[in-house]
Amino acid sequence: MDRRAFLKTGAVLTSTGLLTRNPKMLFAEARADSNSSLTYKQGEKISEQTFVLDQELKKHTLHSVFQVNEDVLVNVLYIFGGGAMGKEDKLGGIWCQDSFEDLQILRFIDVKYEEMPVQIIPVACSPIYSTQHYGFEKRVLLDEPDESEKYQTAAKAFVESTEASFKSGLIPVQPYFDLRNRLLMNKREDLMPGQGYGEIYDWQGRFRADDETQTYGVPTIWFLDAAGVVLEGPFRGNLYHSDPYEINYTLVDIDRA
């Protein structure tokens, strides 16, 4: 049975602005809030303002995405490194090698839970801190305003390259996008955005593990219910290509959860 048809017809299951004057200053103010700089915890409801972008760069709150299918019991939020912006030497057209390897888990979940009230929400993060290695200006997705031609060109390349990996089957579900890396925002001083970045919200970085040491922190997996309450997570820290490699969760761990 088609999963969308199942979710529409199946039995109902129950489940439990800061305006940017100076981004660095405002983010410091947000961090002063006792909750804003902390990773979400199990049982906590995420901010209803949290948003992602679709392939046309239109905003959608995660809450609206969760509630598209009312029968969904578990939303699998899969945050990963997306398309390589046309760089041809990247496996599967994905800029993050760890995400390329880890996507096997997402494909497994998609097949196994196809007829169950589980919704997969992949969110592709851009190589925001290293665009100079992908044929674009350094920090173009971090410092340029949304309406700038430089930003629009880089954003288009990222979306199109991610869509190509989706169409090839590597990414099993239509992804959303986080071009500004808001969900996993790195609070390191030298990685803070410039004036063109726009608003910095108090929910930014709250999907990033408190003890995360990687620049990006992808891939990271969360389970949430339809109301945006955290059920499990974050699952993170799989380094498939480090020496030595480090695996903090496996396909079995995600399946059991």
For residue range 3-58, what is the model confidence (pLDDT) as tens digits? 433 333 333 333 333 233 344 444 444 443 434 448 999 999 999 999 999 999 99
Kindly report, residue by residue over 161-211, the tens digit of the pLDDT: 999 999 999 999 999 999 999 999 999 999 999 999 999 999 999 999 999
Kindly report, residue by residue over 74-125, the tens digit of the pLDDT: 999 999 999 999 999 999 999 999 999 999 999 999 999 999 999 999 999 9
pLDDT score for 61: 98
The predicted model gives 221-242 an average pLDDT of 97
pLDDT score for 95: 98
> What Cα–Cα distance (Å) separates residue 18 from each residue in 24, 108, 140, 188?
12, 40, 22, 19
Is 90 exceeded by the pLDDT of residue 63? yes
Is 70 exceeded by the pLDDT of residue 231? yes
pLDDT score for 170: 98
Kindly report, residue by residue over 123-170, the tens digit of the pLDDT: 999 999 999 999 999 999 999 999 999 999 999 999 999 999 999 999
Q: Cα angle vertex 211, ends 209, 215, to 5°?
A: 75
Per-residue pLDDT band for 70 (boundaries 50, 70, 90) equals confident
pLDDT score for 75: 98
